[in-house]
Amino acid sequence: MRPPGLCGVSRAPPALLLLLLLLLAPLREAPRAQGARAAELRVRVRLPDGQVTEESLQADSDGDSISLELRKPDGTLLSFIADFKKDVKIFRALILGELEKGQSQFQALCFLSRLHRNEIIPSEAMAKLRQKNPRAVRQAEEVRGPELLHMDLAVNFTLGALLSPHLRNVCAEAAEAIYARQEDAHFWLEQGVDGAVFEPLPRDPEPGLARCRQVGEHGKPCVCRYTLSLAWYPCLLKYCHSHERPAPYKCGIRSCQKSYSFDFYVPQRQLCLWDEDP
């Protein structure tokens, strides 16, 4: 017997309440002249440190891209773009400086890396996501293994549009600090991207070049590390089976969380003030 107070309470498992519904009715192909279709989803997410923040996810199915944005409680603004047309993912961090320590107002960093097909759901599926319960705090169902990327190339901001048209908007504040990896650049060059986009950075690990957290003097070059986390993103489509349908059909998404650490050369220790011993 259920206590009367619980009458009418949904007995669906909590995971189901958090499920985002995929609207399955296929959208009619809109004529190009009507402009890009963009859909936005705002979700409340739990960060790896337990705090809650709002995250915005946008899909542009004409441009075939997804963007994600979240503000960390310390004020850092993180942006992520998946550009499926160019096989590029862009991470940007706007890090607030501590004015009382004489730091500039903010520091911007951009990291580019190759986008693989299985990392995030396609933009047309993302554009169809709607949420049932906007107040729910979402926690990713799967924590994907953290990744450490050694950034050994600088990207020329002016020429960067040849790599992805999103660079001009997303990385404008970071024009002097856009990084990529040779292994990804090789792939993009094979796709026809101009090699002039990339410039080599001093090699990491260069013999004797220390991690910034171990360097005391502000003027010295060192290897800086920045770590960020995509707190919640739809990483896989779920398929269901039904007796009424001949084939499995899309019925939801799996959500993931993933951290990325980027190592990159800085000519001066003070360009990496966040990288300190805990």
**Residues of the shown chain interacting with ligand NAG in the complex, contacts defined by CB under 6 A:** 156, 158-159, 196
- Cβ neighbors of 76 (< 8 A, separation 6 or more) are 93, 94, 95, 96
Q: How far is the CB of 28 from ligand NAG (least distance, A)?
A: 43
CA distance 214 to 269: 10
Q: Closest CB to ligand NAG among 76 and 156?
A: 156
Q: Closest CB to ligand NAG among 18 and 159?
A: 159
CA distance 192 to 134: 43
Q: Closest CB to ligand NAG among 143 and 196?
A: 196
Q: Which residue is nearest to ligand NAG (CB)?
A: 156
Q: Closest CB to ligand NAG among 27 and 161?
A: 161
52-60 and 65-71 as β-strands: parallel, antiparallel, unpaired? antiparallel
Per-residue tokens: 145: 């293994």
Q: How far is the CB of 116 from ligand NAG (least distance, A)?
A: 28
CA distance 73 to 193: 38
Per-residue tokens: 81: 């773009």
Burial class (CB in 10 A: 0-12, 13-18, 19+), 17: exposed
Q: How far is the CB of 197 from ligand NAG (least distance, A)?
A: 8
- Cβ neighbors of 165 (< 8 A, separation 6 or more) are 83, 86
CA distance 55 to 42: 6
Q: Closest CB to ligand NAG among 158 and 169?
A: 158
Beta pairing partners, 143: 257
Q: Closest CB to ligand NAG among 154 and 256?
A: 154
Q: How far is the CB of 172 from ligand NAG (least distance, A)?
A: 14
Q: How far is the CB of 199 from ligand NAG (least distance, A)?
A: 6
CA distance 76 to 59: 22
Q: How far is the CB of 208 from ligand NAG (least distance, A)?
A: 26
Residue type, 152: D
